[in-house]
Amino acid sequence: MNGESVKSYVYVQRSDGHRPSYQMILSQALDVEPVSGRLGAHRFARLLGARRLIFSTIDDNYFVFLLVSLGRAILGRRTVGIFLRPAQCWTGTRYYHRWKRWVFAALRRIRSIAVLTIVPFPVRPEYALVARDWVHDPQMWDVSAREGCVDDTPLARSLRDAAQGRRILCFVGGVSAIKGIDFLADVAGVDPGFADRCLVAVMGKADAESSLALKRLAAAGAKIVDRHLSDPELESLYSTADMIWACYRPDYDQASGVFGRAFQSGKLSLVRSGSVIEQYARHVGAGVLPIEYGDAAAAVAAIDAIRETMPNADGARSAMAMRDQFVETIGKWQ
């Protein structure tokens, strides 16, 4: 990284969960230095004076984004922020969700502040009311941008051994009710013969609310690994599975990194019919299996009817075009 770009930053306040890896993707793609942590006086001055500044997510703390971006606007400096949850401006039930819509609509009038969504405006035209532009989610192209092949892992090998030739439907990553784990338990248990044709696997740390669903899945013959997974393990699961679960509850209707990683691996994602994910997939030409949320018998019939589990074999090539669009769009607003 050259001396000039040291004064350009990608900032995120919190450093838990997927945030560090998400921030690092942006740092490498945009050639800027990652900065994280609470906004004290020294860090505020550092961000205020940065040559280029990107918030890898503004959703951690909207007040901090407003404070820094407005301060930079006064100084004549531009700020870019990525808006991960704009849907709450319309569907949120808390008092501040309506406030978000008003504030971000007003921010669009300030030329030096660019809020970007990770859902294309053709998919959600209303997002253009609260954001200046859109980019492809980095999780649609990050794996393809790295050199080298995905390594096999003991976890992936154990999954193949357990399948014994059956198709594998895999739930990957943190397990929670909003990601449809209860519906997946319905799917696994509705047909006693389904387990003979397809291995359902749940791979990732579950929250307390999901414990009953995990018990139902285990009783239906699913393979469960209830722990945090490393990045190599996660990537190896996408390579190993035939189908990836991305069929989330209707109240969790947003972009999905799980779908993005499945797309880059060429694999088929099961998604909720009518969801943002299905519409986004249609927009980029990705193959998915849409299913009606709550109709377990219809979901099993749709899975049984699948003949092609690699509909996105060209996903890596498409992902690189998405990366180019991301970098070019960020550059346009800096």
Going 125 to 19 to 244 to 262, the CA torsion angle's sign is positive
Residue type, 86: P
Residue spans of the domains in the chain: they are 4-134, 154-315
Q: Which two tokens stand for residue 206?
A: 């579950």
Beta-strand ranges (E) seen in the chain are: 9-12, 33-36, 53-55, 79-83, 113-117, 133-134, 167-172, 198-203, 223-225, 243-246, 268-272, 288-291
Same fold, 4-134 and 154-315: yes
Is this structure's pTM higher than 0.85?
Answer: yes
Whether 295 and 186 have beta carbons less than 8 Å apart is answered as no
Between the CA of residue 228 and those of 49, 96, 105, 169, 248, what are the distances in Å?
Answer: 38, 32, 38, 19, 20
Of 171, 167, 140, 189, the closest CA to residue 245 belongs to 171
Topology of 4-134 in CATH? Rossmann fold (3.40.50)
CA distance 326 to 1: 20
Please name the residues in contact with 48: beta carbons below 8 A apart, sequence gap of 6 or more.
Answer: 68, 71, 72, 75, 77
Whether 206 and 178 have beta carbons less than 8 Å apart is answered as no
CA distance 220 to 185: 8
Topology of 154-315 in CATH? Rossmann fold (3.40.50)
| pLDDT in single tens digits along all 334 residues of the chain | 444 444 899 999 988 767 887 888 899 899 999 999 999 999 999 999 999 999 999 998 999 999 999 999 999 999 999 999 898 888 877 777 778 899 999 999 999 999 999 999 999 999 999 999 999 999 899 886 665 567 899 999 999 999 999 999 999 999 999 999 999 999 999 999 999 999 999 999 999 999 999 999 999 999 999 999 998 999 999 999 999 999 999 999 888 889 999 998 889 999 999 999 999 999 998 999 999 999 999 999 999 999 877 777 676 678 889 999 999 999 999 8
One DSSP character per residue, 185-254 reads HHHHHHSTTHHHHEEEEEESPBPGGGHHHHHHHHHTT-EEE-S---HHHHHHHHHH-SEEEE---TT--S
Of 231, 229, 156, the closest CA to residue 199 belongs to 156
Q: Are strands 113-117 and 133-134 parallel, antiparallel or unpaired?
A: parallel
